[in-house]
Structure 1
Amino acid sequence: MTINDYWETRNAPYQREMQVVEGSGQPTIQFPVVIAPKKQTDKQTVLEEISRLAAQEKSNEPSFIRKLLDANGGAINFKGLPLKSVEDFSDFLSALAGKGKQAWVPHVHVGMEVLRRPLAKNVMTTNEGPPSHFIGWHNEYAVSPVHPGYLVLYCQVPPGAGGETNIVSSLALYDRLKKTVPEFVDKCGKKGLVYQIPHTSAQVGGIVGGNGLYKENAFGPLNGDISKMTDADKRRGVESRIIDLAKRGGWSPEAAKNESLPDWQRRGFDWSWAENGDLEVVHRVPGVRLHPTLKIGSIFNAMSTRYTNAKVNNTWEPPFKFKTGTEEEGIAVPPHFAGVEKDEVIPKEWLEEMDKYQHALGSDVTWEVGDVLVIDNFAVQHARWAWEGDRKIRASFWDEPGIIGEPLTSAA
């Protein structure tokens, strides 16, 4: 696909040659597509040129960025950009969002347990889990009915060693798994997936979660003021927002009685309070979605880390507990399918098959200062490898009108 005279496609050692859908006559792509200015440039020119690829004021056509994502597996890796700060990245995002009916809008998080610190307009920290912590493959916030359409990552400081962002085509995963373990794909839609999401009562930095339950982007009041509320009022408010989130995923008292609906939609969400005020919310959501523009199936989940933890600790049977190196008791709940009466552990052989393809199809994107990775969240999963030294990868989350991955209740 020709872009224009300013940009050129490049080859990178981490690109993976692949067919999104295997078969005779299907196109082969380099994943991700790597794009850079043809010659040394300045920030203002980059902003002007990226705005030409973004949504346009008077156009009803999809943006060039949207077409480029669809033609190249859902990931664009910009290299050679003169973006030296989070403020530079923020300006780039404003140009990338475009104008008009197809313009991107900042995503509004709901029920967010991951601590993300704001750094500049529409720029946040990535997950602050320790460098040794592997974050498995996932579609961004696939645990929830409310998730962004686009994820944009930016390198402010590259890691000393390791720290690659691995990306995998969710569309290729669907294609391969539908052929090898069709019952797994079918149940991901008909039964759905279960996620136990912990929320700390107050913000706790330096851990994988720790956002704080009563923040607006979690389950706190929308005006953010809890100072005059009683504990009972705060809890009622949280529970009301949990129910609202479940409804946004299709649950309702009427849906619960409808046997023709998938299990995730009938069952909805549960929650339980701890004595210290922390909360665990159990989400039940679909695990396959229809890609909004390509109209093909997409694996849409966040099971990889849960699978890895269950595998390492051999916690495939209830109560899913194990002994740590210091003989303390830990818990690692394996991935579950949703059930109306009872949730069920997903056979590990099916999860092994998914893990096999995630490793086989993944591309390890390496980082340099100024790099930007644009990800279509309905087409691509991402993961993070451990690293050494410093690493500052920043994140931004966006939506586009009409770009919604509708649940698939059966494998097409």
Structure 2
Amino acid sequence: MKSHPSFSQVAIEGQRNEGESVFPLVYGCQDQAFGLEPFLDWVTENRDALLGSATAHGAVAFRGFATPDVEDFDRFIQALEIENFPYKKSLSNAVRVNRTPRVFSANEAPPEVKIFFHHEMAQTPLFPRYILFFCEIAPLVGGATPLCRSDVLYAELRQRCPEFAHKCEQVGLQYTNVMPGVDDPQSGMGRSWQSTLGVETKEQAVSRLAELGYAHEWVDGDCLRATTPRLPAVMEVRPGQKTFFNQLIAAYCGWKDERNDPSDAIRHGDGSKLDPESVAIAIELAERYAYDHKWQKGDIVLLDNTVAMHARRPFEGTRKVVASLAEMQTHAFDQAGV
């Protein structure tokens, strides 16, 4: 990492020590008069180191820099020189609104809705390697974005629930959700099937689902029930470093609206139900190892989506946190390992 006299690592409230690393790693600007251009030049110059730090630490946060608006955040992303993963090409089930070609609202769900821990799009064959968040307006009360290192969680889960962890590795997971015929912003998973699949007609939807290996069923209200193929529940990020890479907690706890019942949302890849006691321990561990990022205007957080999961606390007042996805990846369950 190339140093800069005005930029340095700083401590932040709630920051955790995980082995030899801090979570998240935080950079602060010591000179408030310092402009945006030198910051962006520093980001580009240290691009590889910053992305490497996101993987090593789980997340890198930036506070106090000259990034007051969404356009500045967009320029920060461009300075990192990472490939855009447009929201419209994702299979995310959240309703979002684009602000720039790279940047969109993090989630349009009402403020009282809690978004549970998850790895972004781990419940689909397509997922982003990196997620970036930016705070445009900080909430009056609540609204933190909790982060949790999934490798730390999984190491303890394997000790406390060895049979459950082994089964997750051996047979993976399958997810089922019912998509509405039109966007439902009152739900944290209310994106329509047309938008999710990038189609206009039911015939196109069926074709797209077949390409992805999904099973499907049309249900009342022009809704579509879709079940994924078997997907991995655990990812080996580096030799010896495994992460609990899935949407188990979010699906089990939070995939609930007028169309969806969490009890039907997720199963093991062999069709068997999850052990509720083991799931409860995974939920407990996620909260135990959570760092809550309490937003300040202009904050940026760079997350390695394969290492750290994220969530959203309910809030009061206006909260505008936007996001960007980068470096589309694919994953599929390795049948040879079964």
Structure 1 length-normalised TM: 0.75
Indicate the residue corresponding to 2:35 in structure 1. 42
User: Do the aligned residues in 1 keep the contact of 2:95 with 2:109 (CA within 8 Å)?
Assistant: no
Of residues 108-117 and 81-90 in structure 1, the stretch that sits farther from structure 2 once superposed is 108-117
Q: How does 1:227-266 map to 2 (within 5 A)?
A: 234-246=201-213
Deviation of 1:356 (Å): 1.6
Equivalents in 2 of 1:69, 1:294: separation in Å? 17
Indicate the residue corresponding to 1:52 in structure 2. 45
Deviation of 1:79 (Å): 0.6
Indicate the residue corresponding to 1:229 in structure 2. none
The one-letter amino acid paired with 1:337 is: H
The one-letter amino acid paired with 1:367 is: W
1:5/1:406 CA distance change after superposition, 3 Å: farther
User: Do the aligned residues in 1 keep the contact of 2:179 with 2:193 (CA within 8 Å)?
Assistant: yes
The one-letter amino acid paired with 2:77 is: L
Q: In the TM superposition, what whole-angstrom CA distance separates every residue of 1:131-156 from its partner, at most 9, and x where no partner exists?
A: 11111100001110101010000000
Equivalents in 1 of 2:162, 2:308: separation in Å? 20
Match of 1:191 among 171, 180, 187: 171
Indicate the residue corresponding to 2:304 in structure 1. 376
Structure 2 length-normalised TM: 0.90
Q: How does 1:386-397 map to 2 (within 5 A)?
A: 386-397=314-325
User: Do the aligned residues in 2 keep the contact of 1:290 with 1:406 (CA within 8 Å)?
Assistant: no
User: Do the aligned residues in 1 keep the contact of 2:125 with 2:331 (CA within 8 Å)?
Assistant: no
SS in 1 for 2:99: strand
User: Do the aligned residues in 2 keep the contact of 1:289 with 1:407 (CA within 8 Å)?
Assistant: no
1:112/1:309 CA distance change after superposition, 3 Å: closer
Larger Rg: 1
Q: In the TM superposition, what whole-angstrom CA distance separates every residue of 1:293-318 from its partner, at most 9, and x where no partner exists?
A: 566211111122343369xx9xxxxx
Q: In the TM superposition, what whole-angstrom CA distance separates every residue of 1:147-199 from its partner, at most 9, and x where no partner exists?
A: 10100000000010111111000111121112221221221122111211221
Q: How does 1:193-342 map to 2 (within 5 A)?
A: 193-215=173-195, 218-221=196-199, 226=200, 234-246=201-213, 269-283=214-228, 284-291=230-237, 293=238, 296-308=241-253, 331-333=261-263, 335-339=266-270
Indicate the residue corresponding to 1:162 in structure 2. 142
Indicate the residue corresponding to 1:101 in structure 2. none
Normalized per residue, the structure richer in helix is 2
1:352 correspondence with 2:280: yes
Q: In the TM superposition, what whole-angstrom CA distance separates every residue of 1:345-374 from its partner, at most 9, and x where no partner exists?
A: 111111111112111111011100100010
Equivalents in 2 of 1:143, 1:351: separation in Å? 16
SS in 2 for 1:47: helix
Indicate the residue corresponding to 2:76 in structure 1. 92
Equivalents in 2 of 1:365, 1:131: separation in Å? 17
1:406/1:290 CA distance change after superposition, 3 Å: farther
The one-letter amino acid paired with 1:390 is: T
1:110/1:242 CA distance change after superposition, 3 Å: farther
Indicate the residue corresponding to 2:162 in structure 1. 182
Equivalents in 2 of 1:92, 1:186: separation in Å? 40
SS in 1 for 2:110: coil
SS in 2 for 1:195: strand
Match of 2:289 among 357, 361, 376: 361
1:66 correspondence with 2:51: yes
Match of 2:61 among 77, 81, 87: 77
Identity %, equivalent residues? 24
Indicate the residue corresponding to 2:326 in structure 1. 398
Of residues 7-16 and 110-119 in structure 1, the stretch that sits farther from structure 2 once superposed is 110-119
1:296/1:203 CA distance change after superposition, 3 Å: same
- Total equivalences in the alignment: 332
SS in 2 for 1:356: helix
In structure 1, list runs of 5 or more residues that go unmatched. 20-26, 55-62, 99-103, 227-233, 247-268, 314-323
Deviation of 1:67 (Å): 2.2
User: Do the aligned residues in 2 keep the contact of 1:165 with 1:382 (CA within 8 Å)?
Assistant: yes
SS in 2 for 1:285: coil
Indicate the residue corresponding to 1:105 in structure 2. 83
